[in-house]
Structure 1
Amino acid sequence: MIRTAERAAPGRPTEDRVFTTANAVVVLDGVTSTRPPDNNGAWYAQTLGEELVDLLASGGDLADLLAAAINRVTTRHGLVPGDSPASTVAIARWTGTEVDTLVLADSPIITFGRTTEVIADTRLAALRPITASRVPLLRNRPNGYWVAEADPRAAHQAKRKTLPRSAVEKVIIATDGVSCAVDDYQIFDTWQSVLDLITEKGPEAVLDRIRAAELSDPNHTRWPRTKTHDDQALALINFTE
């Protein structure tokens, strides 16, 4: 069973996307270029997600499939590395025996079962002390961070993990508009607390809790950030139902 919740930051369309298939969930968080071409982050996340869903149907290694999807979008639309929209990518795909996960940039995957595993790409977060104007210069570079953009090589820099299906009961996939609640705001002490709230009241309740916390800090003093609200996307895969 798959449950999802999505919400745009007030005042603009969301750049987050969630795609589901019979045996996979793909979550993306689009990033508009600092020098925008005709298409923005929402368009890129949508277009890349559609390509990924098409390729996932054929099976194969997740990084290879992501590289192929990035290459398709780049070629068809004439995108230029360093001057194009981009997107985080998080994929969970399962068979009867395994759960494969891939995380590129800051949209983590959390698995629950015998143990709780957090599959996260923290390279962008590690650059936070660097000024915002310099961060784009470190995109898809060694000692920088990696994201889906116009360079297929980024796909093979993703964080990967494969777990036995028997060891996984539930999976959460989230964009940073949700993961901030654990990593930054700490309004949930653990991801288990997030799962407990989803179980009790549904995934929308998690988004509500985050929005309420952000509204309680309108001047960004308790939680320094560049904007009051971010887009939110959350997916729960429940193998026990």
Structure 2
Amino acid sequence: MPRITVAEQAGVGLDGAPRPSEDVVLVRPDAVIVLDGATSLRPELPSGGWYAHRLAGQLAEELAAHPDAALPDLLAGAIGTLAAAAGLTPGHSPSSTVALLRWTADRVDALVLGDSPVVAFGPDGPRVLADDRLAAVPRRGGGYRDRLRSGTGYGAGHLRALRAGGAAMDRLRNREGGFWIAEADPRAGHRARTARWPRSAVREVLMTTDGVSCAVDDYGIFPDWPAVLRHSVDKGLLSVLEMVRAAERTDPHGIRWPRPKPHDDQALVHVDFTEIPK
């Protein structure tokens, strides 16, 4: 088993108050599962954290029962089983991103669904497995981002704008031409992005939720993923999380970096295949 290091921090809720993280990290002897439960904009639904914890558990069962199955099949099965057990219906259920990493003596398999990337590092440099379909969905003007840029801040108007935007996004969830996410439709598992690498070509892997990947993709704290890896090894994973928090504290009202909440949940996993613990 490779050496696996995990760092996590909870963000805040839509009201700005502390609450438990809705990110989930689950480590198995042959796999790592990382999920980012979507903060619910509909109070009548279970939380994204509730869903992410249960989907992680179901994925762990699928991985144990079917160690050679393709990752999209495992994810589709887990989504379908959870939806049936919990009475979830497509379009009216909580949701979560999914990042999976599984390894054998010969290969490393990865899957991402939603904005929780997996970055593999080897002799030929980094290989980024990401799902940019949500980011590519066209946004209409007048949404929460425009409001925050104008200086309105995180108040009641922001929550109304988030809910209006969320209703529009609901119509694009798990639709061709929209984006795919783990929810109650098993087909989403087969729309995930996947990669397979020879085990000899992978030295280290980073897995993150978007509360950390924003350090590269949005904030520019790090110029690239190799810089994140170097900092993680030299200063520790928690230092990466704290650098994101420090940047967000310089933009408390979301003017420079419009985002749903001042601080998102954070999860960062480092998988080191070069150092096998005894």
Amino acid at match of 1:18: V
Q: Are the counterparts in 2 of residues 36 and 85 from structure 1 also a CA contact under 8 Å?
A: no
Shift of 1:127: 1.8
Please give the per-residue CA displacement for 1:10-42, whole angstroms capped at 9, x wherever unaligned: 411111000000110010000144334452110
Matches of residues 35-114 of structure 1 in structure 2 within 5 Å? 35-37=42-44, 39-57=46-64, 58-59=66-67, 60-114=69-123
Amino acid at match of 1:129: R
Shift of 1:223: 1.4
Matches of residues 224-239 of structure 1 in structure 2 within 5 Å? 224-239=258-273
Q: Is the partner of 1:134 in helix, strand or coil?
A: helix
Question: Which structure would you say has the larger RCO, counting Cα contacts within 8 Å and 6 or more residues apart?
Answer: 2
C-alpha separation between the residues in 1 aligned to 2:236 and 2:138?
32
C-alpha separation between the residues in 1 aligned to 2:136 and 2:215?
18
TM (norm. structure 1) is 0.97
C-alpha separation between the residues in 2 aligned to 1:221 and 1:205?
24
Q: Could you tell me which residue of structure 2 aligns to residue 7 of structure 1?
A: 9
Shift of 1:163: 0.6
The number of residue pairs the alignment matches comes to 241
Please give the per-residue CA displacement for 1:140-181, whole angstroms capped at 9, x wherever unaligned: 000000000000000000001001110000000000000011
Q: Could you tell me which residue of structure 1 aligns to residue 247 of structure 2?
A: 213
Distance 1:107 1:6, change over 3 A: same
Distance 1:213 1:146, change over 3 A: same
Which stretches in structure 2 are left out of the alignment for 5+ residues?
13-17, 144-164
Please give the per-residue CA displacement for 1:56-96, whole angstroms capped at 9, x wherever unaligned: 11311111011110011100010011010000000010011
C-alpha separation between the residues in 1 aligned to 2:201 and 2:228?
20
Q: CA RMSD in A?
A: 1.2
Which stretches in structure 1 are left out of the alignment for 5+ residues?
none
Shift of 1:225: 1.8
Q: Are the counterparts in 1 of residues 45 and 94 from structure 2 also a CA contact under 8 Å?
A: no
Q: Could you tell me which residue of structure 2 aligns to residue 201 of structure 1?
A: 235
C-alpha separation between the residues in 2 aligned to 1:37 and 1:219?
28
Larger radius of gyration: 2
